Amino acid sequence: MADQQQRADARAVEQASAGRSSSSGTGRFPLTGRILAVNILPLLILGGGLFYLDSYRTQLINERFKLARIEAQITAEALAGATRERQEALLVQIGKEQRMRLRLFDTKGKLTADSFALAEPAFSFNDIRDDDWEQRFARWLDRTVDTIVSAEAVQDYTEPDSQDADAWPELARARELGLSQVRLYDWSDGTPVITAAVPVGLQGATLLTVRNAVDITESVRAARTTLFLAMLLVMAASALLSLFLARTIVTPLRLLARAAVRVRQGRDREVEVPRLPQRSDEIGLLARAVSDMTAALRQRIDAVDTFAADVAHEIKNPLASLRSAIDTLPRVEDPDLRAQLIQIATHDVRRIDRLVTEIAAASRVDAEISRAKLERVDLAELFENIIRSRDDRGMNGGRRLVMLDTPGAPGTPSASCVMGVPTQLERVAENLIDNAVSFSPPAGVVSVAIRRAGSKIITEVCDEGPGIIPERREDIFRRFHSDRPDGESFGNHSGLGLAIGRAIAEAHDGTLAADSRADGAPGACLRLTLPAAL
């Protein structure tokens, strides 16, 4: 069952690392996809400009409608009253200059003059069979845009078989109403064909102009093609940059997630969490933080394992003694021996009780400090209260406890204030003084000195005992260390006091170390260093 849960958790972490977490709306999509979307979305919006060029085309055609109507009307006025020769000359001249085809119809609707028949045609329609790939692509893009914007269909331009005016709807309408008519057609290559029909004079003659407005299509296509190609290039560059950015973010995150899964499962004791030392960004900071956290977790696990083994060993000894005394007691008849066995059992019970109390305190240090609210604590006042209390209760066994003067500048915060948990700091102070008293000779002096060094508050508790050789100064902070003064009754100390003191100091971002006396006299100094309160 536990293995199934581990596998389920591992899958959940893997999914989270790939950006598929279902805890939020955006979490359902991979991080790479989201980076691409964020970078490409503006380009897609820019690409929408391709379609808005259709409105630009419509505006150009409307302007050309007005121009075609005006040109046709001006030409009709010039033709009215002119001789036949003059009319033909005007049709050829205007057609050549304006690149139009002009047809003149009489009152019966019969074609009387055609600029293309009178002279060389001023323009020719494009044959799409000769188009290259660029022109075909342009026509495909035109059709795509027209489909997307639902452009209104335009009738294809074809030359009617009949040469009469009624074969042209716009001419028939102009003859009927006596008003100018403009109409839009579409050539096979997608270019607009604009025709204008206007009356000529008052006798019923009409004029038809035909213009293939290639320039409109060329202008729109040039803008659209340039914008489309630019969008493709920028989109490709953006996609590559996005993929690169996603790779630099997603890949290390996945490595960290996989390493975290292996660490959590505990199947690979020596799994290495990548620290990414070459990266100085947030990903690098995260990698190093996770690596440090993993190292701290391993140390904590190792410490728990060692602590559990030490606890079992330390409790097993008094339990064995207690069991032996209890097992022997029923078989002993001598009152003095029975009293001795009872005394041993009582001593072992007290020892076990002391061990359990100290072990519980040691195991709760980090948890209690993490939950507690830090307060401003004056270490000088704290130690003075403890010294006064021990003196009042006669706990020093003839030793004298001395509190040295604490230097401080007038009008400035106390030179001995720190931020911490008062009850835990009091425990440290009690343990330091108790240790110093136990190692001092009966008439010895235990001194407490507190000073400020930069941003640190240093507290030194010195005794006049035998001192600690340098090779053993770290050993005294090990749990259940049993190096006690000569003559002290066995089992009166658990060996956890200084270990608890160091744990509390480190939980307050401080240190606790042992050293020799600065004045060179016999004895040891325990130095507690804590950050000063701001």
Question: What's the pLDDT tens digit per position in 381-436?
Answer: 999 999 988 888 888 888 889 988 765 544 445 678 999 988 889 988 988 998 88
What pLDDT shows up at residue 462?
93
Write the DSSP string, 454-503: TTEEEEEEE--SS---GGGTTGGGSTT-----TTPPTTS--S-HHHHHHH
Q: What percent of the chain has pLDDT over 70?
A: 79
What pLDDT shows up at residue 250?
75
Q: Which residue has better confidence, 489 or 190? A: 190
Q: What is the DSSP letter of 465?
A: S
Average pLDDT over residues 273-299: 78
What pLDDT shows up at residue 3?
46
Q: What percent of the chain has pLDDT over 90?
A: 25
Q: Which range, of 282-296, 427-441, 472-486, 516-530, averages the lowest pLDDT?
A: 472-486
Structural domains of the chain ordered from first start = 49-212 (3.30.450.20), 273-371 (1.10.287.130), 372-534 (3.30.565.10)
Average pLDDT, the chain: 79
Average pLDDT over residues 438-450: 88
Containing 445, the helix (H) or strand (E) segment is strand 445-453
Q: Which range, of 6-10, 20-24, 402-406, averages the lowest pLDDT?
A: 20-24
pLDDT-based confidence at 256, cuts 50/70/90?
Answer: confident
The amino acid occupying position 408 is G
How deeply is 300 buried, as exposed, middle or buried, from its count of CB atoms within 10 A (0-12, 13-18, 19+)? Answer: exposed
How far is 246 from 252, CA to CA, in rounded Å?
Answer: 10
What pLDDT shows up at residue 50?
57
Question: What's the pLDDT tens digit per position in 109-138?
Answer: 999 999 999 999 999 998 888 888 888 888
